[in-house]
Structure 1
Amino acid sequence: MKMTPQDLIKETEHLFSLPDVALRVNQLIDEPSTRPADLAEVILYDAALSARLLRLVNSAYYARPVLIETVTQAISLVGFRPLRDLILATFAVEMFHGLPPEKVNMERFWFHGVATGIAARELAKRRGVREGERLFLGGLLHSIGKLVFFSYCADDYAEVLRLIDDERLSVIEAEERVFGFNFADLGAELLRAWRFPESIWKAVAHQLDPDKASDYRLEALIVQGAEQVGSIVQSTAIDGGEALATSASDYLRSLAGRLGLPSDALDELPGDISLQVVEVFEVLVPGASVVY
């Protein structure tokens, strides 16, 4: 009998649990009496997290007109929920640090994740999704199930790769044949175990086929579309722009139509977010650099 995504996440709970700082911040944010100073006191115990938070709030992602110099000031300006998103993003990146490069190029993986996350936030804003900023996390972590596979199921995943090469199956078809589920199912279950909002983990769960979503279909469509926008940004920044140059414009116009936006509404989106993507990537993945 094959495992379910729930079985695998329970079995790997000790490997993929959030650190105490993230849990404490989550707890404080859910308490109505919490003040920015209370959160700052917890965050300041983690010097690396504090420094990264300040770099993020001073990046193009937020485009603040003045320099933010203290964690308390950052919390007050960013807000509690976006703060939680940034902290969870930071720890998710750290959690999978050190996977062997022969399994996955982590710099490319996270660059694409950041591009997808920022695209998801922007698409949600343009579509008028309530609290759409949180879809940054859905986009950033849309493929996190792949990292669970690579980390814990390396031998079985070798069979996935063989099926892709020898039988010309898609990644999804090969994963489902070997495991009985795919990376989107597994990633959604991990995010659910981390107590992410339902709108995020369900969007990740249905990103491959939003029409099958019984609820949060729009959010799933945004994550699906953002993944393609992220690929366009990555193609331009890292691969010279050739891979998707001919199809990017057509795809962006098709996506605009599916989201109920004017046909040319997304034409400039990849270029508009490229600076944000590079800056946020360099903050979330310290020491990494985009390879041009």
Structure 2
Amino acid sequence: MTPESLVGETQDLFSLPDVVRRINQLIDAPDTRSADLAEVIRFDPGLSARLLRVVNSALYARPQPIETVTQAINLIGHQALRDLVMATCMVDLFKGLPPDWIDMDRFWFQAVACGIGAGDIASRAGLSQSERLFMTGLLHSLGRLIFVTQCPNDYLDVLRLIEQESLESSVAEQRVFGFDYTRLSAELLKAWGFPESIWMAIAQVSMPAQATQYRVESEILHVAILIADRLMLNHVGGTVPTVDRLAEESQALAEYLSLDPEALDELPDAIALQVMDVFGILMPEASLIF
């Protein structure tokens, strides 16, 4: 079994929805107007409603409400629109997985927190790719969903190792499968045609200092995962072994990006409201209580 073969088995089960493909085509075209994008989105009432809820949420903190899809697109820009469409469609694409396989509420809470955390770090560092890093963080753990849908019995062995030996999930996955969820996530996004800067950053996140390309993105994603785990522990509960490394890894990243270390120390609290707001929009029926 390899990441490539496992992703190949999911092509019919998990493929990008038509609305995502159409939005991507329009955004990649140089002469696309906001009105063109709005016309596509209006055919999906659920997506339209979520777009308006997001732009009126704490993520953007607008003094005046945004009332139309075109206004929303003009406010957030085409790249952020792509992120939102992808986030919404990913939630729908993987909806309905058996709860005894994976808790999807916790999964998406962590993913949203990681995406917002990665984007925030990039913004604080003055980097131009904050929107791309939001998407990288949001989608970095999709491989875990492939594991549990395609190899549910083997993944039970992963869960046993995590519980019995207090291993991190990626270590347990390496032991059972020979590769972890980040390698699988990267392969899935590569197969879907995502930019190299996204899937390579994910593929290298377990050893970011050794990244041959996109090291900055991998380093930021690495710490964003720890920040998301801290938020998970603070607001959802449970045991997250990786959070003990957050202070040390944040210090190293602050030095690498020439940031004030306190800027990263405060980040879990700084983004908490945004995370809960966006999570509530993407997962309106979630059972998590804050």
Q: Same fold (TM over 0.5)?
A: yes
- Please tell me whether the aligned partners of residues 142 and 204 of structure 1 are also in contact (alpha carbons under 8 angstroms): yes
1:4 is the counterpart of 2:2: yes
**Structure 1 residues 245 and 207: CA distance shift in structure 2, 3 A:** closer
Identify, as 1 or 2, the structure richer in helix. 2
Given candidates 190, 213, 216, the residue that maps to 1:215 is 213
Distance 1:160 1:59, change over 3 A: same
- In structure 1, which of residues 180, 185, 198 is the aligned counterpart of residue 196 of structure 2? 198
Query: Are 1:109 and 2:107 matched, yes or no?
Result: yes
Letter of the aligned partner of 1:106 in structure 2?
A: M
CA-CA distance at 1:160 after TM superposition: 2.7
Superposed displacement of residue 247, structure 1: 7.0
CA distance in 2, matches of 1:242, 1:90: 26
Scaled by the length of structure 1, the TM-score of the pair is 0.91
Distance 1:28 1:148, change over 3 A: same
Where do 5+ consecutive residues of structure 1 fail to align? none
In 2, distance between residues paired with 1:177 and 1:111? 26
Q: CA deviation at 1:251?
A: 5.3
2:255 to 254, 257, 263: 257
The residue matched to 1:52 in structure 2 has which SS? helix
Note the C-alpha offset of 1:246.
7.8
How far off its partner does 1:202 sit? Answer: 1.1
Which residue of the partner structure matches residue 123 of structure 2? 125
CA 1:218/1:107 → structure 2, altered by over 3 Å: closer, same or farther? same
Distance apart, 1:118 and its partner CA: 0.6
Residue 109 of structure 1 aligns with an amino acid whose one-letter code is F
CA–CA separation in structure 2 for the residues paired with 1:162 and 1:190: 25
Deviation at 1:211, TM superposition (A): 1.6
Q: Match for residue 134 of structure 1?
A: 132
Stretch moving more, 229-238 or 273-282: 229-238
Please identify, of 77-86 and 227-236, the stretch whose mean Cα deviation from structure 2 is larger: 227-236
Q: 2:223 aligns with which of 214, 225, 234?
A: 225
Please tell me whether the aligned partners of residues 125 and 133 of structure 1 are also in contact (alpha carbons under 8 angstroms): no
Residue from 130, 133, 156 that aligns with 1:158: 156
What is residue 39 of structure 2 aligned with on the other side? 41
Summarize deviations over 1:52-77 as a string: whole Å, max 9, x none.
Answer: 01101111111222211111111111
With over 3 angstroms needed to count, the CA separation of the structure-2 counterparts of 1:247 and 1:169, relative to structure 1, is: closer
Identity rate, percent: 52
CA contact (8 A) 2:79 2:131 kept: no
Letter in 1 for 2:7: I
In terms of mean alpha carbon deviation, does 233-242 or 129-138 score higher? Answer: 233-242
The one-letter amino acid of 2:186's match is A
CA distance in 1, matches of 2:240, 2:148: 29
Q: What is the CA-CA distance between 1:274 and the residue it aligns to?
A: 0.8
Normalising by structure 2, report the TM-score: 0.92
2:81 aligned residue: 83
Change (3 A) 1:72 1:253: same
1:209-238 per-position Cα deviation (integer Å, ceiling 9, x unaligned): 102211101100101101111122222222
The answer to whether the 8 A contact 2:116-2:137 is kept is yes
- Gap runs ≥5 in structure 2: none
Query: What amino acid maps onto 1:81 in structure 2?
Result: Q
